[in-house]
Amino acid sequence: MSDSAELRASFDAADAAALGERLRSLVDIRDRRHGFPPRTYGNRFLGRDAVPALIDENHLTTLPKRLGVIGAGPIGMELAQAFRRFGSDVTAFSRDSKILPKEDADAAAIVHASMVRDGVRFAFEVKYLRVESAEGQPPVTVVVERDGREESFEFDALLVATGRKPNVTGLGLDLAGIRFDPRSGVEVNDKLQTSNPNVFAVGDVASRYQFTRMADFMARMVIRNALFLGRDKVSSLLVPWATYTAPEVAHVGLYERDLEARGIAFATYTRELADVDRAILEDDTEGFVRIHVKQAPTRFSAPPSSRVTRATSSARSAWPCGPVWGWAPWPVSSTPTRPRRKRFGRPATPTTAPV
C-alpha cells in the first residue's frame, strides 16, 4: 500500500477487524519500525525527530563530506564502505569489539581489514551518551564514552543502522487472541499460523529473516496454507543471505555454534582462496570457503556423510563457482527454496541451496 493511503485498521474482536488508524500495518504486516532510541537524555540518544538521522525512508541528494554510522551489522557495514568509496569520510561505531558479530570471526576480520584499507574509521566498545544538533540541522555531534573518556565526533550526516522493532502496537492483537511480543513480533507456528487459527502473519514481523524475498515466499506459503489446505512449512525453506561488502560474506545453513548447541557431530573443511588456482590467476586470493558436514553415526571408520549442514564463503564474489576439493558446490539460486521431493514418498535429501 502506498504512503498516500492513510486508512488503517485494528482488531476489535477475535473474528473482526475495524477500520481505524492502522489499516496499513494490518494489510502489510511485514512492517517494522526502526529501532531508533527514544528521545530521552542521559545514557540514551535523543530521538529521531531531534536530530537529522538517516534511515531507509530518507534519501540523500548530495554526498555528505563526513558520515557517521551507528551499528556494525550488515547494513551499517555495507553502506559505510559504499559511502567511503563514494568519497565521504566515514566513522562507524559499535558497542562490540568487532564488526559483523553474527558471522565467523575470521570472515568478519577479512571484511574489517578491507574497510580499513578503504579508509573507514572505527570506534569499538563505545558507550553511546547522546546525539546533538542545532535545531535538528547538520552538523550532528555524536558523544560516546570510550576507555573511560568522553569523546565527540561531528558529522554532516548520521546513519542509524541499529535494527528494527516489529510494528505490532495499536492493532488490537490481544482482542483477536493473537499472541505477540513487542521485541520479537507475532508468534506463529511452522505454517505461519498465529495463536488465532484464522489469522496468519508473514514477513519481518513474524520472522528473524528480514529479507524481501523471504517475505515473498512466506506470503506465497500463507496463500497455499490458508486458502488451499496446504501443508507447507517455513522450516523446509533453505534460507541463505549475503553481506554485500567487499569482499562479500555469505552463508547458508547452521552456524558452528548452532551445531554445537544442538549436539550435532560435524566435520569442518576450510579452503583458502590462496590455494585455489582460479583465485591465484585472478590475483584475488583474499578469503575462503568453509563447509560444515554432518557426520553419520557408525561403528566403523568412515568419512563424514555428504550432507552439508552449512557453507560459508568470504570472497570478492562470495558464492563459489568452481571446483573445491575436486568437486563442484551445489547449483545456487537467488531465492529461498525447498528440498527437492521424490515423485512419491518423503522429501529427498536437499540437493540445492540458494544464494
Calpha distance 109→239 (Å, rounded) = 24
Q: Of the given ranges (7-16, 61-70, 231-240), which has the lowest mean pLDDT?
A: 7-16
Q: How many residues does the chain have?
A: 355
Lookup: cell for 116: 580499513
pLDDT at position 213, please?
86
Question: What is the pTM assigned to this prediction?
Answer: 0.74
Range of the domain at 94: 53-162
Above pLDDT 70, what percent of the chain?
67
Bridge partners of 261, per DSSP, are none
Q: What amino acid occupies position 253?
A: G
- For residues 203 and 279, membership in a common domain is answered with no
| 347 pLDDT above the threshold of 60 | no
- For residues 157 and 185, membership in a common domain is answered with no
Calpha distance 271→288 (Å, rounded) = 5
Task: Answer whether residue 330 is part of any domain.
Answer: no
Answer yes or no: are the C-beta atoms of 32 and 165 closer than 8 Å: yes
What CATH number should be reported for the domain holding residue 223? 3.50.50.60
Given 162, 183, 209, the domain boundary residue is 162
| 17 pLDDT above the threshold of 70 | no
Q: Of the given ranges (22-31, 116-125, 211-220, 335-344), which has the lowest mean pLDDT?
A: 22-31
- For residues 184 and 154, membership in a common domain is answered with no
Task: Decide: helix, strand or coil at residue 118.
Answer: helix
Given 130, 162, 194, the domain boundary residue is 162
Task: Answer whether residue 327 is part of any domain.
Answer: no
pLDDT at position 39, please?
34
- For residues 59 and 114, membership in a common domain is answered with yes
- For residues 140 and 199, membership in a common domain is answered with no
What angle do helix axes 74-86 and 105-118 make, rounded to 10 degrees? Answer: 20
Lookup: cell for 209: 529473516
- Of 45 and 192, the one with more pLDDT: 192
Given 236, 251, 270, the domain boundary residue is 236
Burial of 67 from C-beta contacts in 10 A (0-12 / 13-18 / 19+): buried
Sheet holding 137-146, edge to edge: 127-134, 137-146, 149-155
pLDDT at position 315, please?
64
Task: Answer whether residue 355 is part of any domain.
Answer: no
**Residues 80-100: what's their mean pLDDT?**
96
- Count the neighbouring beta carbons within 10 Å of the beta carbon of residue 93: 23
Task: Decide: helix, strand or coil at residue 345.
Answer: coil
Calpha distance 44→37 (Å, rounded) = 7
* pLDDT (tens digit per residue) in 131-188: 888 877 788 999 999 999 999 999 999 998 888 788 888 888 888 899 999 888 999 9
What mean pLDDT, rounded, does the chain reach? Answer: 76
Q: How many domains does the chain have?
A: 3
**Residues 53-67: what's their mean pLDDT?**
74
Task: Answer whether residue 188 is part of any domain.
Answer: yes
* pLDDT (tens digit per residue) in 304-343: 434 455 566 666 655 443 333 333 333 344 456 555 544 4
* pLDDT (tens digit per residue) in 242-292: 999 999 999 888 899 999 999 999 999 999 999 999 999 999 899 999 999
- Of 54 and 47, the one with more pLDDT: 54
Task: Answer whether residue 347 is part of any domain.
Answer: no
**Residues 112-129: what's their mean pLDDT?**
97
What CATH number should be reported for the domain holding residue 274? 3.30.390.30
| 5 pLDDT above the threshold of 70 | no
pLDDT at position 338, please?
58
Who contacts 31 (Cβ-Cβ below 8 Å, separation ≥6)? 24, 25, 167, 203, 204, 205
- For residues 74 and 150, membership in a common domain is answered with yes
Burial of 262 from C-beta contacts in 10 A (0-12 / 13-18 / 19+): exposed
Task: Answer whether residue 189 is part of any domain.
Answer: yes
pLDDT at position 58, please?
58
pLDDT at position 41, please?
31
- For residues 118 and 85, membership in a common domain is answered with yes
- For residues 186 and 232, membership in a common domain is answered with yes
- For residues 302 and 252, membership in a common domain is answered with yes
Calpha distance 76→79 (Å, rounded) = 5
- For residues 169 and 158, membership in a common domain is answered with no
- For residues 178 and 29, membership in a common domain is answered with yes
DSSP character for 149? E
Say which residue the cell 542509524 belongs to.
160
Task: Answer whether residue 307 is part of any domain.
Answer: yes
- For residues 203 and 224, membership in a common domain is answered with yes
Calpha distance 287→221 (Å, rounded) = 36
**Residues 212-227: what's their mean pLDDT?**
90
Task: Answer whether residue 348 is part of any domain.
Answer: no
- Of 303 and 102, the one with more pLDDT: 102
